[in-house]
Amino acid sequence: MPVVTLISDLGLRDATAGIARGIIYTALPAATIVDISHEVPPFQVAHAAWLLGSVCHSFPPHTVHLVLVDALYQAQPQMLLVAIGQQYILAPANGVLSLLSAVAGTQAWVVHTGAPGQGLLQWVQAAVQVVAQLQAAPATQYGWPQIAIPQVLPQPVQVANDAILCHVQYIDNFGNLITNLSQQQFQAVGANRPFRITVGVEVITRIATACADVPKGDALCRFNSRGFLQVCVNKGNAASLLGFRIGGIYNHIKIQFG
Q: What is the mean pLDDT of residues 125-149?
A: 95
166 within 8 A of 220, measured Cβ to Cβ: no
Which residue range is the domain that position 240 belongs to?
158-257
Residue 107 CA to residue 121 CA, distance in Å, equals 27
Domain contains 153? no
Percent of the chain with pLDDT over 70: 98
What is the per-residue pLDDT for 214?
95
What is the per-residue pLDDT for 236?
95
pLDDT at 248 over 90: no
Q: Note the pLDDT tens digit of each residue in 106-131.
A: 999 999 998 877 788 899 999 999 99
What is the per-residue pLDDT for 137?
94
Element (H, E) at 68: strand 64-68
Choosing from 123, 148, 173, the residue where a domain stops is 148
One domain for residues 65 and 178: no
Instruction: Count CB atoms within 10 A of the CB of residue 49.
Output: 27
Which amino acid appears at position 254 of this protein? K
Residue 185 CA to residue 165 CA, distance in Å, equals 12
What domain count does the chain have?
A: 2
Q: What is the mean pLDDT of residues 77-104?
A: 94
71 within 8 A of 123, measured Cβ to Cβ: yes
The backbone region for 43, taken as left when phi is positive above 0, alpha when psi lies in -120 to 50, beta otherwise, is: left
pTM, whole model, 2 decimals? 0.83
Residue 180 CA to residue 192 CA, distance in Å, equals 20
Name the 3-class secondary structure at 10: coil
CATH number, domain with residue 179: 2.40.30.90
Domain contains 116? yes
One domain for residues 25 and 133: yes
- By CB atoms closer than 10 A (0-12, 13-18, 19+), residue 153 is exposed
Q: What is the mean pLDDT of residues 174-198?
A: 94
One domain for residues 119 and 20: yes
pLDDT at 151 over 90: no
Choosing from 126, 148, 170, the residue where a domain stops is 148
